[in-house]
Structure 1
Amino acid sequence: MTNRRSILFSVAMLAAASALSAPAALAQAKDKVSISALPFISTAPVFIAKERGYFDAEGIDLEIKIFNAAQAVAVAVASNDADFGITAFTGGFFNLAGKGALKVVAAQSREEPGYNFVAYIASKKAYDAGFRSPKDFAGKSVAITTVGSSFHYNLGMLADKYGFSLASVQMKPVQSIPNMMAALSGGQVDATILPANNALKLEAEGSGKIIGWVHEHTPWQLGALFTSTKNVKERRPMVERFVKAYQKGLKDYAEAFLAKDSEGNRMIGEKAQAVLPILEKWVQPKPTIDTVKVAANYMDPQGRLLVKNIHDQLAWYQAQGLVDKGFSANDFLDLSFVKGHLDLPKQ
């Protein structure tokens, strides 16, 4: 009888322990969340936040899905293959957003004077023949990812600024960044437009020559963090926690790579060295500290957008007939997740 009571007591204690531990286990369960992204330095805040546990601390188990073109990043979110996306604005993005599929919640990279990000690069043959300036794209063949891409828009801004016809530029869509690099190095085009890390690689190999940087000619809000409209409506607390973790990654990135001395030179020190292994893990081509000194682009440390510039971008795409005219940027911008957005349009 004593043994029976002992067994029953043990069973009761186990049951009580299980009951007590169940809420703790439930509390520790994380939201499984995915983000579609490109393997660029511009995605660094996400990489940093993941590797340093900022998403975990917010109860988010994050999967990063890597793509090779901005349009694919947006499509992944619109089709529910990813919960978030982070990349450049494109005509395809605006079309999806205009259909109600996407919501922009924070800033990513922007072309800010004094910070290299995207380079104009001429083939060696074209450079030797005198193609030395972004003002001279008229009549040249240029590899881009897709019609309506950010690279297309870069050329459009140049054409508007310097008064040449965009129709005179022979744009050759090749679908991905690696294909753009191959088209230039293989002599199939006169030029291309590439993130700094990729452009520096081609220049080092002798395949091309950097002839300028976008921020020197046409500063703009290049990219953003976005999610599905469904997530904003049905999983708002998760989106808020995601943005909070992302902002921590932005802060670390800014401290590592954006500080300048009194003469305007970048101060790349211990914090940059500490972040470099994370970039080496995720960024392609694999960056060195010397590359990062040149190629670490500007991102607002708080994730604030240049709002009016996004309205201007949409208007340009609509004027080109690449995006439907039946909506405005207000329909896909959700400015409630980040405080203090910049360059707000006048009402």
Structure 2
Amino acid sequence: MIKLNRRQALIMGGAAAATALAAPAIAQGTKIKVGALRFTSHSGSFVAKDRGYFADAGLDVELEFFQAAQPMAVAIASGDIDYAVTAISGGLISLAQKGAIKVIGGALIEEEGIDGQQILASDAAFQAGVTDPSKLGGKSYGVTQTGSSFHYVGSRIAQAEGIEMSFKPLQKVGAVVGAIKSGQIDAWNIVPHIAKPLAGSGAVHIIGAVQDYLPGYQTTTVFTSAKNAADQRDKTEAFLAGFSKGVADYNSTMIDQSGGDAGIDEMVKLIHQYVYADRPFEKAKPSIVNGTMRINEGAKLNMASVKDQLEWFQSGGYVDASVTIDDLVDTSYVEIVG
């Protein structure tokens, strides 16, 4: 009987969970560029690259990092990168309408029972009485760009609470962090690996959770150029196969904790190469662990959430009213739910 060490068992388990997306035969070493943010939520790509799952699928992957969603969408449309994982934005939808981009799967999702994106208030706003989202009426809410995913989430919170807020575009996540810490904006929403350390420092306060307003929110999606989706099916399926094995490892280790503390440590060390790499491991580890959220197995896509996002962008005039869900999504690659 062959005995496996913990790492081998985790890898084999992750591979088994992703067999529904077995890699097609493509030329070995096919070079592609994959867009990402330095967020824990992009760990599917990090794991697939470092554990050889992309290579097993025949792909030689170079990761290219961005600071916001919309520039990544532009890079896909221009052919500067081949595949990416990020939130749906107005820019992405408009490029899809022009036939440049297709969403082909889902990634990060809000799941009940797992800490997801947190709603934050600046210390100044909190001390002035903004202790829950219902008290955000008349306050300023940070976003990267007008028509970004942050704008969508903030607007849905305001709608649910029956209040109005002003939205302040600051272009980059780092700029929003600085603005809420200094009190230049009153509120924001962000993934837990950023939200919890900020709250722990006392500079901001967690006043709510996004999943209370948007259960099942398809926070990020997997997308590519319309050309890749239509004409490079083998390459696209190979990317999804490798990515899905990385996701399976990540979920198994960080959410199901199948490898125990040792497995978590090994996974965090892998992610630390890309997230908070400028910090010592022991300081980075709590933030990375705090960022644990479910990434959809097999890149399945919550279509109900995607449709709600599209409708919001249309209702606000951020994208053309004539855009259809078929313009945005190629449903032929992964399981569609919702």
TM-score between both structures, scaled by the size of structure 1: 0.84
Q: Does 1:209 align with 2:176?
A: no
CA-CA distance at 1:158 after TM superposition:
1.0
- Aligned partner of 1:96 in structure 2 is 95
Going from structure 1 to structure 2, the CA distance change for 1:93 and 1:310 (only over 3 Å counts) comes to same
Relative contact order, higher structure (CA 8 A, sep 6+): 2
Contact 1:142 1:169 in 2 (8 A): yes
- Aligned partner of 2:40 in structure 1 is 41
- Aligned partner of 1:326 in structure 2 is 322
Q: Does 1:256 align with 2:247?
A: no
- Aligned partner of 1:148 in structure 2 is 147
Q: 1:295 aligned to 288, 291, 316, which one?
A: 291
Q: How does 1:1-347 map to 2 (within 5 A)?
A: 29-164=28-163, 168-219=164-215, 220-259=217-256, 269-284=261-276, 288-338=284-334, 340-343=335-338
Identity of aligned residues (%): 33
Distance 2:28 2:259 in 1: 40
Query: After superposition, what is the alpha-carbon deviation per residue over 1:6-29, rounded to whole angstroms, capped at 9, x for unaligned?
Result: xxxxxxxxxxxxxxxxxxxxx975
Distance 2:260 2:192 in 1: 17
CA-CA distance at 1:324 after TM superposition:
0.5
Structure label with greater radius of gyration: 1
Contact 2:68 2:173 in 1 (8 A): yes
Going from structure 1 to structure 2, the CA distance change for 1:255 and 1:29 (only over 3 Å counts) comes to closer
Going from structure 1 to structure 2, the CA distance change for 1:288 and 1:216 (only over 3 Å counts) comes to farther
Question: Partner of 1:147: helix, strand, or coil?
Answer: coil
Question: Partner of 2:103: helix, strand, or coil?
Answer: strand
CA-CA distance at 1:160 after TM superposition:
2.3
Structure 1 segments of 4 or more deviating over 2 A?
266-271, 284-295
Contact 1:148 1:322 in 2 (8 A): yes
Question: Partner of 2:248: helix, strand, or coil?
Answer: helix
CA-CA distance at 1:117 after TM superposition:
2.6
Going from structure 1 to structure 2, the CA distance change for 1:334 and 1:111 (only over 3 Å counts) comes to same
CA-CA distance at 1:50 after TM superposition:
0.3
CA-CA distance at 1:329 after TM superposition:
1.0
Distance 1:35 1:272 in 2: 25
Query: After superposition, what is the alpha-carbon deviation per residue over 1:90-138, rounded to whole angstroms, capped at 9, x for unaligned?
Result: 1111111111111111111112222223211111111111111122221
Contact 2:141 2:154 in 1 (8 A): no
Contact 1:183 1:189 in 2 (8 A): yes
- Runs (5+) with no aligned partner, structure 2: 1-25
Distance 2:218 2:84 in 1: 16
- 2:62 counterpart letter in structure 1: E
CA-CA distance at 1:268 after TM superposition:
5.8
Distance 1:267 1:204 in 2: 28
Distance 1:186 1:206 in 2: 12
Which shows bigger deviation, 134-143 or 314-323? 134-143
Question: Partner of 1:283: helix, strand, or coil?
Answer: coil
Distance 1:80 1:268 in 2: 41
CA-CA distance at 1:226 after TM superposition:
0.5
Distance 1:90 1:284 in 2: 25
- 1:116 counterpart letter in structure 2: D
Query: After superposition, what is the alpha-carbon deviation per residue over 1:51-70, rounded to whole angstroms, capped at 9, x for unaligned?
Result: 00111111111011101111
